[in-house]
Amino acid sequence: MIARGKILQMAIAAFAAYAFFTLLVRFIGDEAWPNSLSHSPRNFIHDSTFEHIQNRTLGFEHIYAISMKERTDKRDFLTLAATVSGFKVEWLDGVRPDDLHPKAMPDGADTSLMKPTVIACWRAHMNALLNVITNDYSTALVLEDDADWDVSLKSQLREFARGLHTLKGNDHVSKEAPYGTDWDLLWIGGCASGPNANETSFYAIPMDPTVPRVHHRSTWGGPTDEWREKYPELAEDSTRFIYRAEMGCCMFGYAVTNRGARNILSALSVDRLDKPVDNALGDLCAGSYGRRQIECWAPFPNLIGTHRRAGSASRDSDIEKNNIAEFHEEQAWNMVYSTRRNIQQLIAGEDTVYSQWKDEDVPWSSKEIRHKEFIYPGGYLVN
């Protein structure tokens, strides 16, 4: 009888342990770990939560790309790059200065301080936001036609979404909206971003093979001096940071919610535009110069950069008039395993892609990777 009693007790204990473990696994499938574990090596939200990031719109409801109608060269290249990366874009025509009626010019726009092409660029981005609102999209990604990204973009975005939710303290993540909808702007691609000088929380992804060394970047901003001093183990050369952004510049790729599109359109069209659109967006993120603050988040270095084909600089920009006699090599700003620089390998279905710095030995990043087998590293909350 005693032996049977002990067996029964052991069976009950085993069943209770099994039930607890099952509930725990189910819980972490959709929930973040408690804040008490925020300094663990990985702030875990189950990967299945972010399955929609693998879809044809990268987990957003829609993707737009802006391009001048005649720049078929840029449309061809971006379409190919998007196709091999597993997503699709809807094209929106860029705007010419002649398309802007004087009565439709925004208040505050001083043509003696801003080039007509800069104001036309503003209008093109306002048109994108107008489309988001008109179509009632919950979220949308907007790309410029020379945008470039790493071959592991979907994995990068999954970890970015994990970091975003961890920083916001979200306990539940909807699989249908992997980034959530409780923000205004995700400044995923640009040439600069920065947190508030007094910000203490961020999400760190150390030893990220897709982070270019500092001397290879065309960026500024990033972690505060206090972060650099307090966390020397998070080497700036090899760490990607995610944080609430209060500064930004350049609009290679950014995402908005419907709320964000309405807030930005209200501020930069209905209210006033007194500087280029990216600088004005930075003012909104900071709530500076009398602007109502919006909620912006960014990775640093950025996940979406820009690409320049080898040849005459006059083909680069439709905003700036570059010297036709000026030539440069192929450039992919801030990308290690650039999709565009590896486009021929990807179109051919090859497994191996190459760093654009193949002649440089980097401890945390290989000169070449088999992109289908590449595992992007995880990050953790620093608070």
Which range among 184-188, 292-296, 357-361 shows the weakest confidence by mean pLDDT? 357-361
| C-alpha to C-alpha distance for 86 and 94, rounded to whole angstroms | 24
Give the model's pLDDT for residue 23: 39
Token digits of residue 43: 């702030």
Average pLDDT on 192-219 reads: 96
Question: What distance in Å separates the CA atoms of residue 245 and residue 185, rounded to the nearest whole number?
Answer: 9
Residue 80: predicted pLDDT: 98
- Mean pLDDT, residues 189-211: 97
* Burial readout 289-307 (b: 16 or more C-beta within 10 A, e: otherwise): eebeebbbbbbbbbbbbbb
Cβ pair 145, 309 in contact under 8 A: no
Q: Which amino acid is at 195?
A: P
Per-residue pLDDT at 29: 37
In terms of pLDDT, which residue wins out, 9 or 338?
338
Q: What is the pLDDT of residue 261?
A: 98
pLDDT for position 326: 66
148, 304 Cβ separation under 8 angstroms:
yes
Q: Can you give the three-state secondary structure of 44-87, one letter per residue?
A: CCCHHHHHHHHCCCCCCCEEEEEECCCCHHHHHHHHHHHHHCCC
The letter for the amino acid at 14 is A
**For residue 318, what pLDDT is reported?**
55
pLDDT higher than threshold 90 for residue 24: no
Average per-residue pLDDT for the chain: 87
Quick one: DSSP state of residue 98? G
Q: List all residues 6 or more positions away from 139 whose beta carbon is below 8 Å from its beta carbon.
A: 60, 61, 62, 177, 179, 181, 255, 256, 257, 258
Q: Is the pLDDT of residue 228 over 90?
A: yes
CA atoms of 75 and 21, how far apart (whole Å): 51
Tens digit of pLDDT for each residue in 128-158?
Answer: 999 999 999 999 999 999 999 999 999 999 9
Q: Which residues contact 311 (CB under 8 A, 6 or more apart)?
A: 327, 328
Q: Nearest Cα to 190, choosing from 83, 286, 297? A: 297
* pLDDT for 117 beyond 80: yes
Q: What does 295-322 look like in DSSP terms, one character per residue? A: -EEEEES-SEEEEE-SEEGGGT-SSS--
pLDDT tens digits, one per residue of 255-308: 999 999 999 999 999 999 999 999 999 999 999 999 999 999 999 999 999 998
Burial class (CB within 10 angstroms; exposed 0-12, middle 13-18, buried 19+) of 325: exposed
Angle subtended at Cα 140 by Cα 137 and Cα 144, rounded to the nearest 5 degrees: 140
Residue 64 Cα to chain centre, angstroms: 14
Poorest-confidence range of 75-79, 94-98, 170-174, 360-364? 170-174
Residues 68-89, mean pLDDT to the nearest whole number: 97
What percentage of the chain reaches a pLDDT higher than 70? 83
pLDDT at residue 96, as a whole number? 94
Distance CA 130, CA 93 (A): 13
Q: List pLDDT tens digits, range 230-248.
A: 999 999 999 999 999 999 9
Residue 327 has pLDDT above 70, yes or no: no
Considering the chain, what percentage of its residues have pLDDT values greater than 90?
77
The SS3 assignment for 218 reads coil
Is the pLDDT assigned to residue 7 strictly greater than 60? no
pLDDT of 186 > 70? The answer is yes
Any idea how long the chain is?
383
Residue 66 has pLDDT above 80, yes or no: yes
